[in-house]
Amino acid sequence: MFNSTGFIALKTIWIKECTRFLRIWVQTLVPPAITMTLYFVIFGSIVGDRIGQMGGFTYMEFIVPGLIMMSVITNSYSNVASSFFSSKFQRNIEEMLVSPVSTNTIIMGYVGGGMARALMVACIVTLVSFLFVDVRFAHVGIIVLTVILTSMIFCLGGLINAVYAKTFDDISIVPTFVLTPMTYLGGVFYSVSLLPDIWQKVSMVNPILYMVNAFRFGFLGVSDVNIGVAIGVLVIFTLVFYGVAYQLLQRGVGIRS
């Protein structure tokens, strides 16, 4: 897919992106671990003891996959959104667009860096969860596939957000008013089967529901949705977001003046 020049460019962007978040690891990798620890203590231990079981598992076991997925979503999105917008704000991205570097290389470079951060955070949160519960791995292949597709989707989403953003404040609008509500309503802390029929149908429109349930199926072997449908939804969103990001960069939307 890449010639030697394209591969060097891809590797350079990827290394730059990884160096960027690793250089400030106290701000990028430590906060998710602290936040998820608080979730485990409050929702898992304190609230969970009163809830009891859910879906045949302890409440702590039930929410672990959702909490890991929540950290993946947040970090995937924020890493690429902030990094790409910073490059656009400093006009570094213009140099990249006029260079002999393909649009695919630019997208994959930024997405690769965001996925690296998301996967590192996922590993950290998983290790934290071992302190509170015996984590199960029912289908490792599903876990890996789901976390890769989900992180890719939200990396692409962050890139699209950064393309349209005109100020740094615009970067926080989507996470605050879109991602956070969708995440909390995506079955992280509860089974959709507990909802009334009308709200179950409404929940089925939320793509994060499919991500969380596919990930939970990988850990516990249970899901509120058909696992084949869930993976299909992730693949479709990945292709659509990639196509949108590609067209935006090709046309220079929000970049070329």
Please give the model's pTM, rounded to 2 decimal places.
Answer: 0.92
Quote the pLDDT of residue 244: 97
Please give the average per-residue pLDDT across 66-71, as a whole number.
93
**pLDDT tops 80 at residue 46:** no
Quote the pLDDT of residue 133: 87
Q: Which residues is 54 bridged to in the sheet?
A: 57
